[in-house]
Amino acid sequence: MDILIKVLQLFLCFTLLVGLHELGHFLMARAFGIRVEKFYIFFDPWFSLFKFRHKQTEYGIGWLPLGGYVKIAGMIDESMDTEQMKQPVKPDEFRAKPAWQRFLVMIAGVVMNILLALVIYTGVCYVWGDTYFSNDDARWGYNFNDRAHALGFEDGDRIVTIDGQRIDNVSSIPTLLLITDKDREVVIERNGERRTLILPLEELIALRRSGDMNDFQTLVHPFLIDSIAAPAAAEAGLRHGDRIVALDGERLNDFSAYPGRLAARKGSVARLTVERAGEEIELAIPVDTAGRLGVFTADPSKVYPLRTRHYTLLESIPAGVKRCGRVIASYWEQLKLIVQPRTKMYEELGGFIAIGSIFPSEWNWHDFWLKTAFLSIILAVMNILPIPGLDGGHALFTLWEIITGRKLSDKFLEAAQYVGLAIILVLLLYANGNDIYRFFIK
């Protein structure tokens, strides 16, 4: 059932993204009076799942979910219909239109995907707001995994800045650490003092490839006293708001470290170090026969409250634009790192399995729309790359014509289309091959 929900989310998302992308091309072409012969969501080699004709256009759904297309009359595209190009030019064909109109037709799909992301982020800001955990609230720091310890972090450290950028939203830490082509300078706060750690690029690459970033840092769960149930504990001096920081002289930051040690002292007295009003005091607290102190700890949700910024409808528009801009900039940085061999980011490329795996196993509309907006941006950025066969390649050739006043020959465009399709095929095979290796072999 979990896999089915993931597949359904991926299918709905992909259908929406492909459909709107191709709709952008379609609407712009029709606005300039260009004939569109086919409008398909997904590819339809040999046969289609569904189709109908309205006026001059055949609309349909293909069976191969690798994308979609509009077949624009008089254009050399993935259909490679070279016979049509040998016929006399007709006034309603793509090639009969001015270069600036053809350029707009080519970039309309990318524009549509960016607009979709903007609308989604604006809607998410208005309906749900921005919910995040602030690094400022991590006043007791973090616990770190073994890889983080090897990099120099210690439990209880709080990350303050990464390469001079102040940390506010905790969820931004993995991206700021790992999306880089150089060493990272991290300022931490340890025992009230600030220190600087230099994280070598090679170690960050190993961390990214290991997949150990999910638990790189977790919030310290302090042993914070909410209320006293046992009279003996109250008589011994424990108070509401006290934070237990050590047991028999051993400093223990996290609550999880105490139950086992207290169980070993059941029926005796534990010597506790308690932090109260900025000072530490020593208390001797009886441990009952079940290994408990007789206290209730503070609810973690109260200790670490989530912050939510709410927006009015008018406020949500600029907030959505800013969020969209941040995601585009971040993804573009990742894309640039992929072509730099020393970062080894190319090894992280994924195909349809990787894309499907980002969706949760339970349906959540908030998460679904955020994932859809992110994938819409990916689709836009990938399509605008100047690779023949993609929108960016077509737009580049048309831009060349606008600037120079010289139109490229059909023979050149056909050759470029074949080269582009070969590049795209290799990338698809590599990305999906990575999926097979990671999920089924590694």
**What domains does the chain contain, in order, with CATH numbers?**
2-129+358-441 (no CATH), 132-220 (2.30.42), 223-298 (2.30.42.10)
Q: Which amino acid is at 226?
A: D
Those residues with Cβ within 8 angstroms of residue 122's Cβ, 6 or more apart along the chain or in another chain: 316, 317, 319, 320, 321
Please tell me the predicted confidence (pLDDT) of residue 103. 95
CB neighbour list of residue 266: distance below 8 Å, 6 or more residues apart? 287, 288, 289, 290, 291
The residue type of 394 is H
CA distance 57 to 71: 9
Q: Which residues pair with 197 in a beta bridge?
A: 186
- With residue 103 as reference, give the H or E element that holds it: helix 99-127
Distances (CA, A) of 387 to 20, 311, 383: 21, 40, 8
pLDDT of res. 68: 85
Q: Which helix (H) or strand (E) holds 108?
A: helix 99-127
pLDDT of residue 81: 60
The per-residue b/e assignment along 56-74, b for 16 or more CB within 10 angstroms, e otherwise, is: ebbbbbbeebebbbbbbbb
User: H helices of 238-390, where?
Assistant: 258-263, 300-303, 313-338, 352-357, 365-383
Give yes or no for a contact between 150 and 210, defined as CB atoms under 8 angstroms apart: no
| Model confidence, pTM | 0.83
Assess contact for 40 and 57: CB atoms under 8 A: no
- What is the SS3 assignment for 173? helix
pLDDT given at position 83: 67
The angle formed by the CA atoms of residues 22, 28 and 29, to the nearest 5 degrees, is: 90
Averages of pLDDT over each 10 residues, the chain, 442 residues: 84 92 95 93 88 91 85 76 74 91 95 97 95 88 91 92 92 86 93 92 86 82 90 90 90 89 89 90 91 88 84 95 93 82 72 78 91 94 88 90 86 82 82 73 63
